[in-house]
Chains A and B, each alone.
Chain A
Amino acid sequence: MKIIDTKFESQTVTNNMESTRLDFPILKLKVNNKPLVYLDSAASSQMPQVVIDRLSYYHTAQHANINRGVHYLSETATAAYNAARCKLQQFVNAKEDREIIFTSGTTDAINLVMHGYGRKFIKAGDEIILSTLEHHSNIVPWQMLAEETGAKIRVIPINDAGELLIDEYEKLFNKRTKFVSLIHVSNSLGSINPIKSVIAFAHTHGVPVLIDGAQAAPHMSIDVQDLDCDFYAFSAHKLCGPTGVGVLYGKEELLESMQPFKGGGDMIATVSFEKTTYNTIPHKFEAGTPPIAAAIGFGTAIDYLSTLGLDEIHAYETDLLNYATEQIKQIPGVHIIGTAADKTAILSFVIDGIHPHDIGTLLNQDGIAIRTGHHCTQPVMQRFQIPATSRASFAFYNNKTEVDALVAGIHAVKQVFS
């Protein structure tokens, strides 16, 4: 398909990582009279000006409902929406653009697979493999399915560093194993799972694999054909795009075999009160008016990130993580949780005698935004026998000066409690 992104030309962006922060207007904010130090990109990343402009341009000059309108604006919006789908296809190297389903986010994508694949193919006594590292969004849908069908959840354990125990994973397989759903990168610890070999092993047993890529896609290049994953899910708002949109990649033959998730307009071919026939993929899974503007903005965010280069982003962030890890582990009483050999730039830590929420509130006084709590990963917290952590997560628009601010902030917190 030809990519038409009508009349909107992305501004050229810098590819010097240090200066990318100039592309992000929000990073100029002051919070509590201090320069904002935004270290919560694992929860939601910020949007560069080109994405903000793209959203504005869409609403100013292109907005209409898509797919059925015969008028100028509808055709324009439809072309831009389809172009975004093609950008996502290229971003993950999917074979076909129809293997890209727009969802409301990663959670929605996982629920789509649970309803569309799980409820059709997983029966009583069947087993679904998850891991200790999963975000609640990759636990709860499968528990709902297990409750409904009588299927069973099996869990891959982790070691003290926060790495999957691959031997244990392989031992979980038996003839009842029907599905594996696994997080690519742990949102609370940063561990990068060796998903390619995990997927290959599942396939030797004929078991399909869904990868929750919410924390991976923003930080490394993803090639779904090379990984050979059956499903891959991620969200725009962690990839410098807007909230409200995400993607499910699925292999064409699997998507074709699945039942629809939501019923409504656009997902049908014909409707009568006697019988409804469903539309082809991807439309079968996109009932109702999709988040058109957000999807188009997502496409622009993908352009932006691709210009910077995912490999370059990964290298820069790894350097930042190493710098931060070295600084923070030297502070007395501070313990890093999650020390996998292979990590993205996520730094979870606890401080002796100081509750994470108090740390978060006090750092905010210095303009430093971190996340505190269980990060929707209560099984991980239970594994480390802690109620919560403080989590600093870095993006390519962060720099070492901000790491230094965090380190100074932690010292100041300790001072208050001393």
Chain B
Amino acid sequence: MNAKSLYQEVILDHNRKPRNYGTLDDASHQAVGHNPLCGDRLDITLNLNDEHIDKIAFHGESCAICKASASMMTAAVKGKTYAYAETMIKEFRDMATGKLNLDNPHHLGRLTVFSGIQDLPTRVKCAILPWHTLHAALNSVAGASTEAEHDPANASTV
């Protein structure tokens, strides 16, 4: 994997113009994700309506890989069901850690651009943090904040 090509493919677009960037004032679910290793922080707010993610937004301080991953993730899960989003979360985590066979059917679409991240082991957590935070948000009590401080790469529960 050439890091430059990953950057050129996703960063150029999503780092400069992140999708769904901001905070929802009327969020039903939210979570804050931290990467204690680098101090990155990501806030996710979303509205779950009849099992569907109606609206989703993120903001925070992070590196370009994390920001692009968050931007593409919010675009990908918007309008999808809770269950669909959870499937994507699992598939993305597996892909980033080299455990997903991309030849088999999956739901990641353009997000497979991040498959090369498995060759940059120190950056895997950067790509996974938004997904971990989304998982925490989806499983949070409406309106409550969930600190997701444990290792995003290994986390499976809130």
User: Measuring CB to CB, which residues of chain A are less than 8 angstroms from any residue of chain B?
Assistant: 354-358, 361-362, 364-365, 372-374, 378, 381, 387-388, 416-417
Contacts and interface: CB of A to CB of B under 8 A. Distances in A.
Given A362-B3, A373-B37, A388-B38, A416 B11 contact: yes
A32 to B, nearest CB: 8
Interface stretch (B60-68, B74-82, B87-95, B145-153): B60-68
Contacts of A355: 62-64
5 contacts: A355-B62, A358-B65, A362-B4, A372-B38, A417-B11
Contacts of B38: 356-357, 372-374, 387-388
A329 to B, nearest CB: 24
Contact of B39 (A358, A364, A388): A388
Interface residues of B, number: 21
Contacts of A381: 39
Given A358-B11, A361-B123, A387-B39, 18 more contacts: A355-B62, A355-B63, A355-B64, A357-B65, A357-B126, A358-B63, A361-B122, A362-B7, A364-B3, A373-B37, A378-B39, A387-B38, A387-B40, A388-B39, A416-B4, A417-B11, A417-B15, A417-B64
A361 B3 contact: yes
Contacts of A356: 38, 63
B61 A387 contact: yes
B104 interface: no
A362 B4 CA distance: 7
Nearest to B2: A365
A136 B7 CA distance: 33
B64 A358 contact: yes
Contacts of A354: 64
Given A387-B39, A417-B15, A358 B61 contact: no
Contacts of B61: 387
Contacts of B37: 373
Contacts of A358: 7, 11, 63-65
A356 B37 CA distance: 13
A410 to B, nearest CB: 14
A354 B40 CA distance: 13
A357 B12 CA distance: 16
Contacts of A365: 2-4
A240 B138 CA distance: 50
Closest 8 CB pairs of A and B: A355-B63, A387-B39, A357-B63, A358-B64, A361-B3, A358-B63, A365-B3, A416-B7
A361 B120 contact: yes
B8 interface: yes
Contacts of B15: 417
Nearest to A386: B39
Interface in B11-58: 11-12, 15, 37-40
A356 B39 CA distance: 11
Contacts of B64: 354-355, 358, 417
A416 B64 CA distance: 11
Contacts of A416: 4, 7-8, 11-12
A354 B11 CA distance: 11
Contacts of A378: 39
Contacts of B11: 358, 416-417
Nearest to B6: A361
B97 to A, nearest CB: 18
Contacts of B40: 387
A301 B44 CA distance: 51
B18 to A, nearest CB: 13
Contacts of B120: 361
B102 to A, nearest CB: 22
Contacts of B39: 374, 378, 381, 387-388
